[in-house]
Amino acid sequence: MQTALPVVLALTFPGTFVAGGRTDSGFGGTMQEKNRYSVLIPLGTMFLTGLVNLIYFGPATTSVMRERKHQGKIQYHLLESALLNEQQKQGTEKKLMMLHLIQKKCSVLIRSLVHSMELLLLLILWDYWRLCGTVVL
């Protein structure tokens, strides 16, 4: 969903309001020169961080969690003999914490970009309402 949402936002970009109606809407509107910094870069950043999260950090976190679960089973069976390598367990925990931290940072970045896009849309609607007196959705 983190990867698909920026694509949906780019395809449904509302464009700008002019006297004759909307112009530069959809994917073409996001590619316009005037929308490069306000639309294209945030959507591109959202897409890339979501894609990296989907392709790399998600599967890496899952594999480390499986390894952790496997070590827990081994620890349960070998608890009495105390043969579990503590360094290996600490290394796995450290990897899991780092991957979770990076995944959380990516998610927070995506959420903040989505909220800034919502705020930008509200500011555009407010400005249009202030200038024209009505908002037609």
Confidence of residue 18 (pLDDT cuts 50, 70, 90): low
- What are 30-73's pLDDT values in tens digits? 777 777 777 788 888 888 888 888 898 888 888 888 888 887 77
Q: Which of 116, 123, 126, 128 is nearest to 41 (CA)?
A: 116
Q: Is 80 helix (H, G, I), strand (E, B) or coil?
A: coil
Q: pTM of the prediction?
A: 0.50
In this prediction, residue 49 carries a pLDDT of 87
Q: Which of 12, 91, 7, 101 is nearest to 46 (CA)?
A: 7
84 vs 99: which has the higher pLDDT: 99
In this prediction, residue 86 carries a pLDDT of 67
What is the domain partition of the chain in residue ranges?
A: 4-132
Sequence-ordered list of residues with C-beta below 8 angstroms from that of 68, at least 6 positions apart, any chain? 92, 93, 96
- Cα(116)–Cα(120) distance, rounded to whole angstroms? 6
Cβ-based neighbour number of residue 6 at 10 Å? 24
In this prediction, residue 99 carries a pLDDT of 84
**Contact indicator for 118, 76 with CB cutoff of 8 Å:** no
- Cα(136)–Cα(126) distance, rounded to whole angstroms? 12
**Contact indicator for 47, 3 with CB cutoff of 8 Å:** yes
- Cα(38)–Cα(78) distance, rounded to whole angstroms? 57
